[in-house]
Amino acid sequence: MTQPRALIIAGPTASGKSALALELAERFGGTVINADAMQCYRELRIVTARPPPEDEARAPHALYGVLPAAETGSVAWWREAALAEMAKARLPILCGGTGMYLRALTQGLSILPEVPAGAREEARARLADLGPERLHATLHPEDAAKLRPSDSQRLARALEVFLATGQSLTAWQREAPRLPPAPYDFRAILLTPPREQLHPAIITRWGLMRAQGALREVGALVEQGLDASLPAMRAHGVPELAAEWRGEISAAEADRRAIAGTWTYTRRQATWFRHQELVAPTAMHRINARIAGLAQFSERISPEIFAFLQSDG
Protein backbone atom coordinates (compact mmCIF):
# COMPACT_ATOMS: atom_id res chain seq x y z
CA MET A 1 0.00 0.00 0.00
CA THR A 2 1.31 3.46 -0.88
CA GLN A 3 2.34 5.41 2.18
CA PRO A 4 1.15 8.99 2.65
CA ARG A 5 3.77 11.63 2.02
CA ALA A 6 5.23 13.87 4.72
CA LEU A 7 7.69 16.69 4.31
CA ILE A 8 10.55 17.61 6.66
CA ILE A 9 12.07 21.08 6.60
CA ALA A 10 15.25 21.04 8.66
CA GLY A 11 18.37 23.10 9.15
CA PRO A 12 20.19 25.28 11.64
CA THR A 13 18.80 28.22 13.59
CA ALA A 14 17.99 31.32 11.49
CA SER A 15 18.18 29.48 8.17
CA GLY A 16 14.63 30.35 7.09
CA LYS A 17 12.75 27.13 7.94
CA SER A 18 9.56 28.77 9.16
CA ALA A 19 9.21 31.02 6.11
CA LEU A 20 9.61 28.06 3.76
CA ALA A 21 7.23 25.87 5.77
CA LEU A 22 4.53 28.53 5.72
CA GLU A 23 4.84 29.06 1.98
CA LEU A 24 4.62 25.34 1.27
CA ALA A 25 1.70 24.88 3.67
CA GLU A 26 -0.24 27.57 1.81
CA ARG A 27 0.61 26.18 -1.62
CA PHE A 28 -0.04 22.51 -0.88
CA GLY A 29 -2.72 22.69 1.81
CA GLY A 30 -0.32 21.42 4.47
CA THR A 31 -0.08 21.65 8.24
CA VAL A 32 3.13 22.99 9.78
CA ILE A 33 4.07 20.72 12.71
CA ASN A 34 6.70 22.01 15.11
CA ALA A 35 9.88 19.94 15.39
CA ASP A 36 11.81 22.36 17.58
CA ALA A 37 12.16 21.31 21.21
CA MET A 38 12.05 24.86 22.60
CA GLN A 39 9.19 26.18 20.48
CA CYS A 40 6.97 23.67 22.28
CA TYR A 41 7.01 25.83 25.43
CA ARG A 42 4.06 28.11 25.96
CA GLU A 43 5.86 30.99 27.66
CA LEU A 44 8.64 31.31 25.05
CA ARG A 45 7.09 32.72 21.90
CA ILE A 46 9.49 35.62 21.32
CA VAL A 47 12.83 34.23 22.48
CA THR A 48 12.41 30.99 20.50
CA ALA A 49 11.22 32.83 17.35
CA ARG A 50 7.93 30.92 17.20
CA PRO A 51 5.73 31.79 14.22
CA PRO A 52 3.70 34.91 15.05
CA PRO A 53 -0.11 34.72 15.29
CA GLU A 54 -0.53 36.24 11.83
CA ASP A 55 1.50 33.40 10.29
CA GLU A 56 -0.37 30.78 12.30
CA ALA A 57 -3.60 32.25 10.89
CA ARG A 58 -2.45 31.76 7.29
CA ALA A 59 -2.01 27.98 7.52
CA PRO A 60 -2.65 25.33 10.18
CA HIS A 61 0.14 25.04 12.77
CA ALA A 62 0.51 22.36 15.47
CA LEU A 63 2.63 21.65 18.56
CA TYR A 64 3.70 25.26 19.04
CA GLY A 65 3.44 26.51 22.62
CA VAL A 66 1.68 23.39 23.89
CA LEU A 67 3.78 22.67 27.01
CA PRO A 68 4.13 24.83 30.12
CA ALA A 69 7.70 25.79 30.93
CA ALA A 70 7.43 23.88 34.21
CA GLU A 71 7.26 20.58 32.29
CA THR A 72 9.96 18.70 30.39
CA GLY A 73 9.31 17.66 26.83
CA SER A 74 10.87 14.44 25.57
CA VAL A 75 11.56 12.75 22.26
CA ALA A 76 8.99 10.04 23.03
CA TRP A 77 6.32 12.63 23.95
CA TRP A 78 6.98 14.63 20.80
CA ARG A 79 6.92 11.59 18.51
CA GLU A 80 3.53 10.49 19.82
CA ALA A 81 2.10 14.02 19.59
CA ALA A 82 3.53 14.56 16.11
CA LEU A 83 2.09 11.29 14.80
CA ALA A 84 -1.34 12.31 16.10
CA GLU A 85 -1.13 15.65 14.27
CA MET A 86 0.25 14.03 11.11
CA ALA A 87 -2.72 11.68 10.95
CA LYS A 88 -5.05 14.70 10.72
CA ALA A 89 -3.05 16.61 8.10
CA ARG A 90 -3.48 16.59 4.34
CA LEU A 91 0.29 17.14 4.02
CA PRO A 92 2.30 17.09 7.27
CA ILE A 93 5.18 19.59 7.13
CA LEU A 94 7.57 18.94 10.01
CA CYS A 95 9.56 22.09 10.61
CA GLY A 96 12.42 22.45 13.07
CA GLY A 97 16.03 22.01 13.99
CA THR A 98 15.83 19.35 16.71
CA GLY A 99 17.41 16.46 14.85
CA MET A 100 16.66 13.85 17.51
CA TYR A 101 12.95 14.56 17.16
CA LEU A 102 13.06 14.13 13.40
CA ARG A 103 15.13 10.95 13.62
CA ALA A 104 12.57 9.48 16.02
CA LEU A 105 10.06 9.63 13.16
CA THR A 106 12.21 8.61 10.21
CA GLN A 107 14.42 6.01 11.93
CA GLY A 108 12.42 4.84 14.96
CA LEU A 109 13.01 5.22 18.69
CA SER A 110 14.30 2.99 21.47
CA ILE A 111 11.71 2.27 24.16
CA LEU A 112 13.42 3.39 27.37
CA PRO A 113 12.34 2.46 30.89
CA GLU A 114 10.02 4.54 33.03
CA VAL A 115 12.07 6.52 35.54
CA PRO A 116 10.66 6.89 39.08
CA ALA A 117 10.20 10.41 40.35
CA GLY A 118 12.80 9.83 43.05
CA ALA A 119 15.55 9.02 40.53
CA ARG A 120 14.61 12.02 38.43
CA GLU A 121 14.69 14.34 41.43
CA GLU A 122 18.05 12.98 42.60
CA ALA A 123 19.57 13.46 39.15
CA ARG A 124 18.33 17.06 39.00
CA ALA A 125 19.64 17.70 42.52
CA ARG A 126 23.09 16.39 41.58
CA LEU A 127 23.09 18.54 38.47
CA ALA A 128 22.25 21.62 40.51
CA ASP A 129 24.88 20.77 43.13
CA LEU A 130 27.75 19.76 40.84
CA GLY A 131 27.07 21.64 37.62
CA PRO A 132 27.13 19.95 34.21
CA GLU A 133 30.89 19.54 33.80
CA ARG A 134 31.46 17.88 37.18
CA LEU A 135 28.33 15.77 36.75
CA HIS A 136 29.66 14.60 33.38
CA ALA A 137 32.74 13.22 35.14
CA THR A 138 30.57 11.02 37.36
CA LEU A 139 28.56 9.35 34.58
CA HIS A 140 28.90 5.80 33.37
CA PRO A 141 31.86 5.80 30.92
CA GLU A 142 29.65 4.83 27.97
CA ASP A 143 27.38 7.81 28.54
CA ALA A 144 30.25 10.19 29.28
CA ALA A 145 31.87 9.28 25.97
CA LYS A 146 28.72 10.18 24.01
CA LEU A 147 27.52 13.31 25.80
CA ARG A 148 28.94 16.82 25.82
CA PRO A 149 29.85 18.16 29.28
CA SER A 150 27.71 21.22 28.56
CA ASP A 151 24.52 19.30 27.66
CA SER A 152 22.94 19.39 31.09
CA GLN A 153 19.53 18.00 30.08
CA ARG A 154 20.96 14.84 28.52
CA LEU A 155 23.49 14.45 31.34
CA ALA A 156 20.66 14.45 33.87
CA ARG A 157 18.66 12.04 31.70
CA ALA A 158 21.59 9.61 31.53
CA LEU A 159 22.08 9.79 35.28
CA GLU A 160 18.41 9.25 36.12
CA VAL A 161 18.27 6.16 33.88
CA PHE A 162 21.38 4.78 35.56
CA LEU A 163 20.01 5.50 39.06
CA ALA A 164 16.71 3.81 38.18
CA THR A 165 18.07 0.75 36.37
CA GLY A 166 21.78 0.32 37.10
CA GLN A 167 22.49 0.42 33.33
CA SER A 168 23.86 3.19 31.19
CA LEU A 169 21.51 5.11 28.92
CA THR A 170 23.74 4.06 26.03
CA ALA A 171 23.18 0.38 26.84
CA TRP A 172 19.43 0.89 26.96
CA GLN A 173 19.45 2.66 23.61
CA ARG A 174 21.52 -0.16 22.12
CA GLU A 175 19.55 -3.08 23.54
CA ALA A 176 16.01 -1.87 24.15
CA PRO A 177 13.16 -2.68 21.73
CA ARG A 178 12.46 0.05 19.19
CA LEU A 179 9.40 1.79 17.90
CA PRO A 180 9.53 1.52 14.08
CA PRO A 181 9.90 4.42 11.67
CA ALA A 182 6.65 6.25 11.11
CA PRO A 183 4.63 4.84 8.15
CA TYR A 184 5.14 7.79 5.82
CA ASP A 185 6.94 8.51 2.59
CA PHE A 186 9.26 11.17 3.99
CA ARG A 187 10.81 13.86 1.83
CA ALA A 188 13.26 16.27 3.43
CA ILE A 189 14.41 19.74 2.49
CA LEU A 190 17.62 20.65 4.30
CA LEU A 191 18.57 24.31 4.41
CA THR A 192 22.36 24.66 4.46
CA PRO A 193 23.09 28.37 4.20
CA PRO A 194 26.70 29.53 4.09
CA ARG A 195 27.99 30.22 7.57
CA GLU A 196 28.92 33.79 6.65
CA GLN A 197 25.20 34.41 6.12
CA LEU A 198 24.07 32.74 9.33
CA HIS A 199 25.97 34.92 11.80
CA PRO A 200 24.46 38.21 10.59
CA ALA A 201 21.05 36.51 10.51
CA ILE A 202 21.43 35.52 14.17
CA ILE A 203 22.38 39.09 15.12
CA THR A 204 19.43 40.53 13.21
CA ARG A 205 17.01 38.06 14.75
CA TRP A 206 18.27 38.79 18.25
CA GLY A 207 17.68 42.50 17.67
CA LEU A 208 14.11 41.77 16.59
CA MET A 209 13.55 39.66 19.70
CA ARG A 210 14.76 42.55 21.83
CA ALA A 211 12.41 44.95 20.11
CA GLN A 212 9.46 42.55 20.46
CA GLY A 213 9.88 42.25 24.24
CA ALA A 214 12.12 39.23 24.83
CA LEU A 215 13.39 40.65 28.12
CA ARG A 216 9.87 41.02 29.52
CA GLU A 217 8.99 37.51 28.33
CA VAL A 218 11.98 35.98 30.10
CA GLY A 219 11.39 38.17 33.16
CA ALA A 220 7.90 36.70 33.49
CA LEU A 221 9.46 33.24 33.31
CA VAL A 222 12.01 34.12 36.00
CA GLU A 223 9.21 35.30 38.28
CA GLN A 224 7.72 31.80 38.23
CA GLY A 225 10.73 30.60 40.24
CA LEU A 226 11.26 27.53 38.07
CA ASP A 227 14.14 25.08 38.41
CA ALA A 228 17.08 26.42 36.39
CA SER A 229 17.74 22.93 34.99
CA LEU A 230 14.39 22.78 33.16
CA PRO A 231 14.76 22.83 29.36
CA ALA A 232 12.75 26.05 28.99
CA MET A 233 15.09 27.83 31.39
CA ARG A 234 18.07 26.87 29.22
CA ALA A 235 16.66 27.86 25.83
CA HIS A 236 19.02 30.05 23.85
CA GLY A 237 18.90 33.57 25.23
CA VAL A 238 16.95 32.69 28.37
CA PRO A 239 19.87 32.37 30.84
CA GLU A 240 21.38 35.61 29.54
CA LEU A 241 18.15 37.60 29.66
CA ALA A 242 17.33 36.10 33.07
CA ALA A 243 20.67 37.36 34.40
CA GLU A 244 19.94 40.78 32.93
CA TRP A 245 16.45 40.80 34.46
CA ARG A 246 17.96 40.06 37.88
CA GLY A 247 20.45 42.89 37.44
CA GLU A 248 23.49 40.61 37.31
CA ILE A 249 24.75 41.67 33.87
CA SER A 250 24.18 44.58 31.48
CA ALA A 251 22.00 44.43 28.38
CA ALA A 252 25.10 44.66 26.21
CA GLU A 253 26.68 41.69 27.99
CA ALA A 254 23.46 39.69 27.71
CA ASP A 255 23.39 40.41 23.98
CA ARG A 256 27.02 39.39 23.55
CA ARG A 257 26.61 36.11 25.43
CA ALA A 258 23.31 35.17 23.80
CA ILE A 259 24.53 35.81 20.26
CA ALA A 260 27.79 33.94 20.90
CA GLY A 261 25.97 30.97 22.44
CA THR A 262 23.45 30.80 19.61
CA TRP A 263 26.22 30.99 17.02
CA THR A 264 28.12 28.13 18.66
CA TYR A 265 24.98 26.00 18.77
CA THR A 266 24.09 26.86 15.17
CA ARG A 267 27.48 25.69 13.93
CA ARG A 268 27.02 22.37 15.77
CA GLN A 269 23.53 22.05 14.29
CA ALA A 270 24.79 22.64 10.77
CA THR A 271 27.54 20.05 11.23
CA TRP A 272 25.06 17.51 12.63
CA PHE A 273 22.67 17.90 9.73
CA ARG A 274 25.47 17.63 7.18
CA HIS A 275 26.49 14.24 8.56
CA GLN A 276 23.06 12.75 9.27
CA GLU A 277 20.77 10.98 6.82
CA LEU A 278 17.27 11.67 8.06
CA VAL A 279 15.92 10.08 4.90
CA ALA A 280 17.36 8.28 1.88
CA PRO A 281 19.60 10.50 -0.30
CA THR A 282 17.07 10.41 -3.15
CA ALA A 283 14.43 11.83 -0.79
CA MET A 284 16.67 14.71 0.40
CA HIS A 285 16.87 18.10 -1.27
CA ARG A 286 19.52 20.57 -0.10
CA ILE A 287 19.25 24.33 -0.51
CA ASN A 288 22.52 26.14 0.01
CA ALA A 289 21.03 29.58 0.51
CA ARG A 290 19.29 31.42 3.28
CA ILE A 291 15.63 32.09 2.60
CA ALA A 292 15.28 35.66 3.77
CA GLY A 293 11.56 35.84 3.12
CA LEU A 294 8.70 34.56 1.03
CA ALA A 295 9.46 36.80 -1.94
CA GLN A 296 12.96 35.37 -2.27
CA PHE A 297 11.57 31.86 -1.89
CA SER A 298 8.95 32.36 -4.58
CA GLU A 299 11.35 33.87 -7.08
CA ARG A 300 14.42 31.66 -6.65
CA ILE A 301 13.51 28.34 -5.10
CA SER A 302 9.86 27.57 -5.75
CA PRO A 303 10.28 25.72 -9.10
CA GLU A 304 12.95 23.32 -7.89
CA ILE A 305 11.10 22.50 -4.66
CA PHE A 306 7.82 22.01 -6.52
CA ALA A 307 9.53 19.55 -8.88
CA PHE A 308 11.14 17.74 -5.96
CA LEU A 309 7.85 17.33 -4.11
CA GLN A 310 6.05 16.07 -7.20
CA SER A 311 8.74 13.56 -8.17
CA ASP A 312 8.54 9.84 -7.42
CA GLY A 313 12.26 9.45 -6.58
The lowest-confidence range among 36-50, 180-194, 281-295 is 281-295
Query: Per residue in 194-203, pLDDT tens?
Result: 888 889 989 9
Query: Per residue in 84-137, pLDDT tens?
Result: 999 999 999 999 999 999 999 999 988 877 788 888 889 888 988 888 899 899
- The answer on whether 14 is annotated among ligand-binding residues is yes
- Inside any domain, residue 239: no
Q: Are 59 and 163 contained in the same domain?
A: no
Does residue 210 or residue 307 have the better pLDDT?
Answer: 210
- The answer on whether 11 is annotated among ligand-binding residues is yes
- Inside any domain, residue 155: yes
- The answer on whether 29 is annotated among ligand-binding residues is no
Q: Tell me what pLDDT residue 252 has.
A: 97
Q: Tell me what pLDDT residue 42 has.
A: 96
pLDDT bucket at 295, cuts 50 / 70 / 90: very low
Q: Are 289 and 189 contained in the same domain?
A: yes
Q: Are 78 and 127 contained in the same domain?
A: no
* CATH number for the domain harbouring residue 163: 1.10.20.140
Q: Are 172 and 185 contained in the same domain?
A: no
Q: Average the pLDDT over 29-42 and give the result.
A: 96
- The answer on whether 13 is annotated among ligand-binding residues is yes
pTM of the model: 0.83
- The answer on whether 18 is annotated among ligand-binding residues is yes
Can you tell me the distance from the alpha carbon of 145 to that of 129, in angstroms, rounded to the nearest whole number? 22
- The answer on whether 150 is annotated among ligand-binding residues is no
Contacting residues for 150 by C-beta, under 8 A, at least 6 apart = 132, 133
Q: Average the pLDDT over 177-203 and give the result.
A: 89
Residue 114 buriedness (CB in 10 A; 0-12 / 13-18 / 19+): exposed
Regarding beta strands 92-95 and 61-62, do their DSSP bridges make them parallel or antiparallel, or are they unpaired? unpaired
Q: Are 93 and 137 contained in the same domain?
A: no
DSSP 172-194: HHHHS-EEPPPSSEEEEEEE---
The boundaries of the domain holding residue 47 are 5-110+180-204+274-310
Q: Average the pLDDT over 256-283 and give the result.
A: 87
Please give the tally of structural domains in the chain.
Answer: 2
